[in-house]
Amino acid sequence: MPDQSRHFDDITIFDVAKEAGVSYSTVSRVLNNKTYVSADKRERVLRAMAQLGYVANIQARSLAGGRTNIVGLLVRGLNNTYIGEIMKGIDNELAQAHYDLMLYTTHRRKTKESAYVTKLTRNVVDGLLLVLPRNADAYIETLQRRHFPHVLVDHEGISHNILVPSVEATNRKGAYEATSYLLQLGHQRIGFITGKLEMGSAQHRLEGYKAALQDHGLPLDPDLVREGDFLQPQGYTCTQELLALPDPPTAIFASNDFSAFGAMEAVRDQNLHIPQDISIIGFDDIPQAAHVHPPLTTVRQPLEEMGRAAARLLLKYISLPEAPVERIELPTELIIRGSCRPPHHLTSKGEP
């Protein structure tokens, strides 16, 4: 591969200015269309730009204090479908606004967090979208202090007192509904596999579960609640424990679909059948959920829409720095498929 010649046929505003017969600050003006430029000159500049195929140089623009039209997305890793769905929404929204996306993954960095944020904010991006676990407060504080445009996705922020721009799903409500559904089906003993409890969403889902039990007059049996981590293997283990209980649950509510898959595996490995012997319900509705057997009943989280909303909000902060802090909650939805039915003792024997 021969030498890379970066500045190959680079057209600068200087070239455009010459072509259009104006000064090059005039070109800059039409580029940013802030100040008024006479219609005539603007016209000439535009034509010259088109003719020469001018493409703005982001670095220069940024260095000089302008916008880059790039938004940063900070995630822990790319391990799951979950983040893919969110990204899809973000990307679509950004595309419409002619913004580009810069992806940062944190999973491997040992860097001091606030220094890392410095790097992000000083480099390239006009704003930052964050999909992070609960303990990432250092990031957020730095961002807040710097008044750097940012929006959290699926994260409640530092504390309940400080309002941080964010987009979430109705996790509590979703879990409440899922639990109620199981209750209505006649289940009395419902196992619960938590998510990674350092995540706000995991906490909220647990709360929803508890609230539903309480509202239905059922006591909380601590044995039925197992601490998971949103991952399949732990879902498997928790379910094994649950099934080994003297009085095992007739239904299991997993805090996310991956855990639910683990649960399904564990159930099958015990030669039990879903939903005949035990009902399973998940959370998220990732693409796989519809494909497993039986199809998983789950609480749909509007991930793509959350991404869109977050991007939209961030763009607002970028263009209107004074815009008020918003916290957006998007509704979850119970998706009933085939992994739940009334418990054994309520079912007529002959059913297929």
Question: If residue 335 lies in a helix (H) or strand (E), which one and from where to where?
Answer: strand 333-335
Looking at 14, 47, 55, 272, which residue binds a second copy (CB under 8 A)?
A: 55
Minimum CB distance to a second copy smaller for 202 or for 286: 286
Longest Cα–Cα distance in the chain? 89
Residue 47, number of CB atoms within 10 A of its CB: 13
Minimum CB distance to DNA smaller for 61 or for 134: 61
Cβ 217 to a second copy shortest distance, Å:
37
| 29 in contact with DNA (CB under 7 A) | yes
| 323 in contact with DNA (CB under 7 A) | no
Using CB under 7 A as the binding rule, the residues of this chain from 31 to 70 that contact DNA are 31-32, 34-38, 40-42, 56-57, 60-61, 63-66
Stretch of residues binding a second copy (CB under 8 A), selected from 18-26, 87-95, 181-189, 198-206: 87-95
Looking at 291, 345, 350, 351, which residue binds a second copy (CB under 8 A)?
A: 291
Using CB under 8 A as the binding rule, the residues of this chain from 234 to 263 that contact a second copy are 261
Cβ 37 to DNA shortest distance, Å:
4
Looking at 4, 159, 161, 348, which residue binds a second copy (CB under 8 A)?
A: 4
Q: Tell me whether residue 325 is exposed, middle or buried, using C-beta atoms within 10 angstroms of its C-beta: 0 to 12, 13 to 18, 19 or more.
A: middle
Amino acid at 275: P
| 181 in contact with a second copy (CB under 8 A) | no
Question: If residue 213 lies in a helix (H) or strand (E), which one and from where to where?
Answer: helix 200-215
Main-chain dihedrals φ then ψ at residue 228, nearest 5 degrees: -105, -165
Minimum CB distance to DNA smaller for 119 or for 216: 119
3-state secondary structure 153-203: ECCCCCCCCCCCCEEEECHHHHHHHHHHHHHHHCCCCEEEECCCCCCHHHH
For the stretch 341-344, contacts whose Cβ atoms lie closer than 8 Å and that sit 24 or more positions apart, written own/partner, are 341/185, 341/275, 341/276, 341/279, 342/185, 342/186, 342/187, 343/185, 343/186, 343/187, 343/188, 343/250, 343/251, 343/279, 344/250, 344/276, 344/277
| 113 in contact with a second copy (CB under 8 A) | no
Nearest to 298 by CA among 211, 171, 178, 183: 178
Number of residues this chain uses to bind a second copy (CB under 8 A)? 67
| 22 in contact with DNA (CB under 7 A) | yes
Cβ 45 to DNA shortest distance, Å:
9
Nearest to 166 by CA among 178, 176, 157, 175: 157
- Site mask, a second copy, residues 118-157, x = CB under 8 A? xx-xxxx---------------------xxxx--------
Structural contact between residues 194 and 256, judged by C-beta atoms closer than 8 angstroms: no
Residue 14 contact among a second copy, DNA, none, beta carbon within 5 to 8 Å by kind: DNA
- Name residues whose C-beta falls within 8 Å of residue 328's C-beta, 6 or more positions apart in sequence: 166, 167, 168, 309, 310, 313
**Beta-bridge mates of residue 279:** 251
Tell me how far apart the alpha carbons of residues 254 and 233 are, in angstroms, rounded to a whole number. 12
| 269 in contact with a second copy (CB under 8 A) | no
Using CB under 7 A as the binding rule, the residues of this chain from 61 to 120 that contact DNA are 61, 63-66
| 25 in contact with DNA (CB under 7 A) | yes
> Which residues bind to a second copy, rule: CB under 8 A?
1-10, 53, 55, 57-60, 62-63, 65, 68, 70, 77-79, 81, 84, 87-88, 91-92, 95-96, 100-105, 107-109, 115, 118-119, 121-124, 146-149, 165, 261, 287-288, 291-294, 317-318, 321-325
> Which residues bind to DNA, rule: CB under 7 A?
7, 10, 12-14, 22-26, 28-29, 31-32, 34-38, 40-42, 56-57, 60-61, 63-66
